[in-house]
Amino acid sequence: MKAQLKDIVSKSILTPGVGQLDDFSHSLNPYAGCTFACSYCYVRQLPISLYREEEWGTWVDIKTNAAELLRQDLLKARKKGPVTIFMASSTDPYQPLEHETKLTRSLLEVMLDVPPDFLHVQTRSPLVKRDIDLLKKFGDKVRVSMTIETDKEDIRKAFAPTAPPIPARMKALKEIREAGITTQASISPLLPCSREFPQRLRPIANRVTIDDFWLGDGSGGKRTERLGIYEIYKQTGMEKWYNPTAHKVVLNMMREQIGDEVEVMLSKDGFTPVDQARKPAIGENLKFF
Ligand code: SF4
């Protein structure tokens, strides 16, 4: 289906960090809407989607004045204290139309001119590697976090059929790491995965962060329940994974197998600016494989 794209003039671009993102001073969303259309996307349950006639995943508003606004907002915000930015919280900054608009790229250019204290880039798109040249210039003030919610392509296809394939995401993250940029693999939301997952992440991520529907959807899992995601677990024969304890199994597996080399974080602690990161509690040994 062809997405409905609309140019809009936005009133503001930096949003104060709240809720799960309250360790950041601001969030930054170049677009409203997202054509990756993941079945479990928590934004489906937010007013931006609920009060819109079109279905989530079929529309995108392009904030055409985002770069201009960002420059103004950054200059103002920097006078008030440290500026730590999470890009993006309710859209993917590297969804397909970014190929043409280069809007996210223009925001990186502004942030190199008027630097924030820290920038966390959250995406599930290999397109982010296009901007390695700019991201490198942020030095240790940037983290590129690639969502890799499973290492199993059949599972990815069941839950997020229009999102980029997992191997392409892993390859992009590897290139970004090899360029000297700090990388994170965000297993978020955790989906059924294989025992080989930790070793697949070892060479591509400085840090792995695990989050799930119960810890991370902002409502203790209720939003996800309303989306009917359990049906997809049933269809794929993975019901036992729809469980608030599954993350502990994968957390343990990651720590045991790659914890010597890769920082392994849990939920909100893995989505903080660098100096605020805290160590996660050790999980329990349960049987999921
Ligand atoms: S990429 Fe992120 S914002 Fe886009 S649909 Fe998926 S979960 Fe939602």
Helix (H) or strand (E) holding 122: strand 118-123
Predicted pLDDT of residue 285: 45
Q: Which residue has the tokens 């103002």?
A: 76
- Say how far apart CA 79 and CA 194 lie, in whole Å: 47
Predicted pLDDT of residue 280: 44
Taking a C-beta distance cutoff of 8 angstroms, is the pair 180, 235 a contact?
no
Question: What is the distance of C-alpha 8 from the center of its chain?
Answer: 24
Q: For residue 237, count CB atoms less than 10 angstroms from its CB and return exposed for 0-12, middle for 13-18, buried for 19 or more.
A: exposed
Predicted pLDDT of residue 284: 45
- Say how far apart CA 116 and CA 85 lie, in whole Å: 7
Give, using CA atoms, the residue closest to atom 7 of ligand 1: 41
Closest atom of ligand 1 relative to the 91 alpha carbon: 3
User: Cα separations (Å) of 206 from 91, 188, 199, 264?
Assistant: 24, 16, 13, 9
Predicted pLDDT of residue 20: 85
- Ligand 1 proximal residues by C-beta, below 6 Å: 34, 36-38, 41, 43, 91-92, 124
Q: Which alpha helices (DSSP H) does 62-122 contain, by range?
A: 66-80, 98-101, 103-113
Predicted pLDDT of residue 51: 87
- Say how far apart CA 49 and CA 225 lie, in whole Å: 17
Give, using CA atoms, the residue closest to atom 8 of ligand 1: 41
Mean pLDDT for back-to-back runs of 10 residues, the chain (289 residues):
91 93 96 97 90 94 98 97 96 98 98 98 98 98 98 98 98 98 97 98 98 89 90 97 96 97 94 65 50
**pTM for the structure as a whole:** 0.94
- Say how far apart CA 254 and CA 247 lie, in whole Å: 10
How many Cβ atoms are within 10 Å of 85's Cβ, its own excluded? 27
Comparing C-alpha atoms, which of 236, 58, 45, 42 is closest to residue 154?
236
Going from the Cα of 123 to the center of ligand 1, the distance in angstroms, rounded, reads: 8
- 227, amino acid identity: L
